[in-house]
């Protein structure tokens, strides 16, 4: 007995399916690859922006100390540091230390929120220091919490 309809053609069917899968795979690679490139670009832009903000905060703090603007430097400290030390105690501590005359800032460590920098003191000696940062809960800006080795 013969079927009432002719059998579907089989020639070329495997090639069409393979071509369809190939095109779908290529589109998937383009979409995912484009997304990965976009995320990488966004991450690099964000890290650069955060490093610039951290450098500006530390630079402002060190400039205030260098220029003997101790009240301004104290206001640039994070809340925790201000709670631990009064303005008068801060002034006594920083005036007793050898002043930092110049500095070269590094890149922000995102894990520890520390910004390394190379300091040159007034007497000509140098030291590698780190400024440990916090963020202002109201503005989100970086603030210096501590400077140490």
> Any idea how long the chain is?
149
- 0.85 exceeded by the pTM? no
Under a CB-based contact definition with an 8 Å cutoff, are residues 144 and 81 in contact? yes
> Is pLDDT larger for residue 58 or for residue 37?
58
* Domains of the chain, earliest start first: 23-148 (3.10.450.100)
CB neighbours of residue 11 within 10 Å: 6
| Phi-psi domain of 32 (left: phi exceeds 0; alpha: psi -120 through 50; beta: other) | alpha
- Ramachandran category for residue 86: left, alpha or beta (phi over 0 → left; psi -120 to 50 → alpha): beta
Would you call 120 helix, strand, or coil by DSSP? strand
| % of the chain with per-residue pLDDT over 90 | 44
As a whole number, mean pLDDT of residues 87-96 equals 92
């Amino acid at each position: 007995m013969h079927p009432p309809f002719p059998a579907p053609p089989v020639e070329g069917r495997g090639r069409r399916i393979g071509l369809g899968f190939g095109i779908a795979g290529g589109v998937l690679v383009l979409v995912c690859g484009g997304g990965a490139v976009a995320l990488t670009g966004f991450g690099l832009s964000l890290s650069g922006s955060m490093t610039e903000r951290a450098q500006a905060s530390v630079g402002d703090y060190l400039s205030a100390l260098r220029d003997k603007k101790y009240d301004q430097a104290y206001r640039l400290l994070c809340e925790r540091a201000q709670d631990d030390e009064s303005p008068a105690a801060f002034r006594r501590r920083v005036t007793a230390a050898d002043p930092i005359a110049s500095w070269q800032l590094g890149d922000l460590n995102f894990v520890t929120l520390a910004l390394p920098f190379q300091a040159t003191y007034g007497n000509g000696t140098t030291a590698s220091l780190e400024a440990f940062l916090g963020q202002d809960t109201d503005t989100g800006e970086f603030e210096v919490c501590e400077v140490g080795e």
